Structure 1
Amino acid sequence: MPRSAPSPPPSTAKPTPPATRSRSPVSATDAHTEQDHHNPPRRRRPGVILAIVLLCQLMIGLDVTIVNIALPDIRADLHFSATGLAWVFNAYTLAFGGLLLLGGRAGDILGRRAAFVGGVVVFTLASLAAGLAANAAWLIIARVVQGLGGAFASPSVLALIATNFDEGPRRNRALGLFAAMFSASLATGLILGGILTQYANWRWVFFINVPIGLVIAALAPLFIGETPRRPGRFDTFGAVLATTGVGGLVYGFIRASTNGWSDPQTLTSCAAGAVLVALFVGNESRAAQPILPLRLFAQRNRAGAYVNMLLVPTTLFDVIYFVTQFLRDIRDYSPVRTGLAFLPLTLAVFATVRAVPRLVQRFGTKPVMIAGALLATAAMLRLAQLHPDSNYAAAVLGPLVLAGIGVGLTTVPLTITILAGVAPQDAGAASGVLQTMQWIGGGALGFAVLVTAYGTAVRGAGDGASGGNLPPDVQTHGIATAFATGAGFTALALLIALVVIRTVTPAPR
Structure 2
Amino acid sequence: MATTTAAATAAPRADHRWAALGVIAVAQLMVALDATIVNVALPTAQRALGFDDAHRAYVVTAYTLSFAGLLLLGGKTSDRLGRRRALTIGLTGFGLASALAGAAPTFEVLVAGRALQGASAAFMAPAALALIASTFTEPRERGKAFGVFGAVASSGAVVGLLLGGILTEYAGWRWCLYVNVVVAAVMIVAGRRVLPADDGYPVPVDVVSGILATAGLAGLVLGAGEAAAHGWTSTRVLVPGLAGLCLLAAFLVRQRGLTAPLLPLSVLADRGRATAYAATAISVVGTFGMFLMLTYHFQVVLGWSPVRTGLAFLPMTLAVAGSSYGLASRLMHRVAPRALVGPGLLVAATGLALLTQLTPSSGYATLILPAEVLVGLGIGCVFTPSIGVATSGVDPRQIGVAAAVANTAMQVGSSVGTAVLNTVAVSATRDFVGPPSAALVHGFATATGAAAVALVVGAGLVVAFLRPAAPAHAAAPHTSGGAK
**What is the TM-score when the length of structure 2 is the normalising length?**
0.92
State whether residues 375 and 403 of structure 1, in contact with CA within 8 Å, keep that contact through their aligned partners in structure 2. yes
| Secondary structure at 1:142 match in 2 | helix
Cα displacement (A) at 1:101: 0.7
Pair 303,458 (structure 1): closer, same or farther in 2 beyond 3 Å: same
Partner of 2:457: 492
Partner of 2:382: 410
Question: Which of the residues 59, 68, 87 maps onto 1:116?
Answer: 87
Cα distance in 2, alignment partners of residues 77 and 400 from structure 1: 33
State whether residues 370 and 494 of structure 1, in contact with CA within 8 Å, keep that contact through their aligned partners in structure 2. yes
Partner of 1:249: 220
State whether residues 364 and 504 of structure 1, in contact with CA within 8 Å, keep that contact through their aligned partners in structure 2. no
Residues 368-387 of structure 1 correspond to what in structure 2 (within 5 A)? 368-387=340-359
Residues 455-466 of structure 1 correspond to what in structure 2 (within 5 A)? 455-461=426-432
Partner of 1:476: 441
- What are structure 2's unaligned runs of at least 5 residues? 475-484
Residues 152-163 of structure 1 correspond to what in structure 2 (within 5 A)? 152-163=123-134
Question: Which of the residues 420, 423, 427 maps onto 2:395?
Answer: 423
Pair 185,327 (structure 1): closer, same or farther in 2 beyond 3 Å: same
**1:211-238 CA distance string (max 9 Å, x none):** 1100111121222232233223222222
Partner of 2:477: none
Cα distance in 1, alignment partners of residues 256 and 15 from structure 2: 38
2:175 equivalent to 1:204? yes
State whether residues 270 and 469 of structure 2, in contact with CA within 8 Å, keep that contact through their aligned partners in structure 1. no
Q: Which amino acid aligns with 1:477?
A: H
Cα distance in 1, alignment partners of residues 156 and 436 from structure 2: 32
**1:78-127 CA distance string (max 9 Å, x none):** 11211210011100011111111111100111111111100000000111
Cα distance in 1, alignment partners of residues 83 and 469 from structure 2: 29
Q: Which amino acid aligns with 2:108?
A: A
State whether residues 93 and 117 of structure 2, in contact with CA within 8 Å, keep that contact through their aligned partners in structure 1. yes
4+ long deviations beyond 4 Å: 30-33, 40-44, 503-508
Percent identity between matched residues is 36
**1:150-181 CA distance string (max 9 Å, x none):** 11111110100011111411101100100101
State whether residues 165 and 309 of structure 2, in contact with CA within 8 Å, keep that contact through their aligned partners in structure 1. yes
**1:3-30 CA distance string (max 9 Å, x none):** xxxxxxxxxxxxxxxxxxxxxxxxxxx9
Cα distance in 1, alignment partners of residues 97 and 468 from structure 2: 44
Partner of 1:318: 289
Cα distance in 2, alignment partners of residues 422 and 106 from structure 1: 17
Partner of 2:186: 215
State which drifts further: 75-84 or 424-433: 75-84
**1:282-337 CA distance string (max 9 Å, x none):** 12222332222110122121111111111111111111111111111111111111
Pair 350,265 (structure 1): closer, same or farther in 2 beyond 3 Å: closer
Partner of 1:13: none
Cα distance in 2, alignment partners of residues 360 and 114 from structure 1: 30
Cα distance in 2, alignment partners of residues 43 and 131 from structure 1: 39
Cα distance in 1, alignment partners of residues 172 and 220 from structure 2: 34
Partner of 2:478: none
**1:418-446 CA distance string (max 9 Å, x none):** 1222110111000000111011x212122
State whether residues 130 and 143 of structure 1, in contact with CA within 8 Å, keep that contact through their aligned partners in structure 2. yes
Question: Which of the residues 365, 369, 375 maps onto 1:397?
Answer: 369
Cα distance in 2, alignment partners of residues 380 and 42 from structure 1: 44
**1:41-84 CA distance string (max 9 Å, x none):** 79972111111111111112121111111111011111121121
Partner of 2:150: 179
Cα displacement (A) at 1:203: 0.4
| Secondary structure at 2:266 match in 1 | helix
| Secondary structure at 1:45 match in 2 | helix
Residues 164-313 of structure 1 correspond to what in structure 2 (within 5 A)? 164-313=135-284
Cα displacement (A) at 1:32: 9.4
| Secondary structure at 1:83 match in 2 | helix
Q: Which amino acid aligns with 1:76?
A: R
Say how many residue pairs are matched: 469
Cα distance in 2, alignment partners of residues 361 and 47 from structure 1: 19
**What is the TM-score when the length of structure 1 is the normalising length?**
0.88
Pair 215,388 (structure 1): closer, same or farther in 2 beyond 3 Å: same
State whether residues 88 and 143 of structure 1, in contact with CA within 8 Å, keep that contact through their aligned partners in structure 2. yes
Cα distance in 2, alignment partners of residues 305 and 361 from structure 1: 16
Partner of 2:112: 141
Partner of 2:8: 34
State whether residues 112 and 160 of structure 1, in contact with CA within 8 Å, keep that contact through their aligned partners in structure 2. yes
Pair 389,170 (structure 1): closer, same or farther in 2 beyond 3 Å: same
| Secondary structure at 1:502 match in 2 | coil
State whether residues 95 and 185 of structure 2, in contact with CA within 8 Å, keep that contact through their aligned partners in structure 1. yes
State which drifts further: 209-218 or 359-368: 359-368
State which drifts further: 484-493 or 228-237: 228-237
Q: Which amino acid aligns with 2:302?
A: R
State whether residues 80 and 136 of structure 1, in contact with CA within 8 Å, keep that contact through their aligned partners in structure 2. yes
Larger helix proportion, structure 1 or 2?
2
| Secondary structure at 1:64 match in 2 | coil
Cα displacement (A) at 1:501: 1.4
State which drifts further: 241-250 or 198-207: 241-250
Partner of 2:480: none
Cα distance in 1, alignment partners of residues 112 and 169 from structure 2: 25
State whether residues 25 and 152 of structure 2, in contact with CA within 8 Å, keep that contact through their aligned partners in structure 1. yes
State whether residues 196 and 204 of structure 1, in contact with CA within 8 Å, keep that contact through their aligned partners in structure 2. yes
Q: Which amino acid aligns with 1:497?
A: V
Cα distance in 2, alignment partners of residues 276 and 505 from structure 1: 34
Partner of 1:16: none
Cα distance in 2, alignment partners of residues 382 and 243 from structure 1: 37
State whether residues 347 and 374 of structure 2, in contact with CA within 8 Å, keep that contact through their aligned partners in structure 1. yes
Pair 31,376 (structure 1): closer, same or farther in 2 beyond 3 Å: farther
Cα distance in 2, alignment partners of residues 100 and 302 from structure 1: 18
